[in-house]
Structure 1
Amino acid sequence: MKTLIAFALILTVSFVRAQTPVSPSAGAVAAKKTISGVEKAVLAAEKQRFEAQMKKDYAMLDRVLADDLVYNHSNGNTDNKQSYIQSIRDGKSQYDSIESQGQEVRVYGNTAIINGKCLIKATNNGETINTTLKYTDVYVRKGNQWQMVTWQSLRVPN
């Protein structure tokens, strides 16, 4: 009988402990997400693209933008690769600065999706733009090169 009571007591204590939430210890540190080499390569391509837009580096834009690019601007306009590069060449789109305010990249085989936020200072068809954008863009690996195949952005209300 003593054995049965001891067993029931142990079982009850185990059940109660299993139901009690466990809080992290005071010394516990949240684990940081490590970025893989592939994710770093995609983010590097994104950084090169931003810099190429500002510096009017058409050769770099030609490498990092896919031939079948669909570029949806925050104002609702859409460009393909040729019209987008031409708008920069003609001065219709002039990027003064693009400041990343956070990016998250997810990789699925040869495809990568970036969700980001950036501050854009630019001129578009004579209109000064100083706005924060949230965006999603998609890169596809072609050989050793990551190329952007689509961009979709929206303005964040001030």
Structure 2
Amino acid sequence: MHKQCFSLITLLLVLLISCQPSNKGLSQEEKLETLKRTITEFNEAFKNCNVGKLESLITHDYLHTNGNNNAIEKSDWLNYLKKRKRQIDNGELVVQEYKLLEPNIAMYQNSAILSGKILTKGISQGETFTREIRITNLWVEENGHWKRAGFHDTRIH
């Protein structure tokens, strides 16, 4: 009985591992394309404030820095997102546009630095706004998936 359970567990583990997507063995060009898709997915999730999706796309030790504030860790950033989600849900915040412009990606095997500009347009508490920020992100490959490990921005206007 124990031998059968062990065999079944081993088979399940082998199947689970073999079904996991992986970036191993991909060329740098293929890794870059995968990263670009992940960045697009991340930005769409941020625009719509999909907290669960965003949490899955950041590292355990994520560090987020806005130009005017001290750096915050993952849990603080997720709390900010939950507040932002409530503002979107109750109509206090309407994000009409959230775009990455001028992207520049430098690849370093299993990590990358993204720099660029974010343009955001919307309505906050009844007032229209347009904001531009210059950003730098650190992306790392974890278990075959790209995750954002760090963020920094500086407001342009």
TM interval, short-chain normalised: 0.5 to 0.7
Instruction: Specify whether residues 81 and 124 from structure 1 end up closer, same or farther in structure 2 by C-alpha distance, changes over 3 A only.
Output: farther
Deviation of the 1:57 alpha carbon: 1.4
Give the partner amino acid of 1:47: T
- For these two proteins, the number of residue pairs brought into alignment is 123
TM-score (norm 1): 0.66
TM-score (norm 2): 0.67
Instruction: Specify whether residues 73 and 126 from structure 1 end up closer, same or farther in structure 2 by C-alpha distance, changes over 3 A only.
Output: farther
Deviation of the 1:41 alpha carbon: 1.4
Secondary structure at the counterpart of residue 83 of structure 1: helix
- The match for 1:150 is 150
Deviation of the 1:149 alpha carbon: 0.6
- The match for 2:45 is 52
Instruction: Specify whether residues 54 and 107 from structure 1 end up closer, same or farther in structure 2 by C-alpha distance, changes over 3 A only.
Output: same
Instruction: Specify whether residues 71 and 58 from structure 1 end up closer, same or farther in structure 2 by C-alpha distance, changes over 3 A only.
Output: same
- The match for 1:102 is 102
Deviation of the 1:79 alpha carbon: 2.2
2:62 counterpart of 1:72:
no
Deviation of the 1:48 alpha carbon: 1.3
- Trace 1:127-138 onto structure 2 (pairs within 5 A): 130-138=130-138
| Structure 1 unaligned blocks of 5 or more | 1-34
Secondary structure at the counterpart of residue 76 of structure 1: coil
Cα contact 1:54–1:95 (8 A) shared by 2: no
Give the partner amino acid of 1:146: W
Deviation of the 1:124 alpha carbon: 8.2
Q: Which has more helix, going by share of residues? A: 2
Cα contact 1:66–1:147 (8 A) shared by 2: yes
- The match for 1:112 is 112
Cα shift readout 1:25-80 (whole Å, capped 9, x = no counterpart): xxxxxxxxxx9221121122111111111222122111111111111113224322
Secondary structure at the counterpart of residue 90 of structure 1: helix
Deviation of the 1:135 alpha carbon: 0.9
For residue 40 of structure 1, the aligned residue among 33, 39, 45 is: 33
Question: d(CA) in 1 for partners of 2:109 and 2:101?
Answer: 26
Instruction: Specify whether residues 124 and 84 from structure 1 end up closer, same or farther in structure 2 by C-alpha distance, changes over 3 A only.
Output: farther
Deviation of the 1:142 alpha carbon: 0.4
Question: d(CA) in 2 for partners of 1:128 and 1:74?
Answer: 22
Deviation of the 1:125 alpha carbon: 10
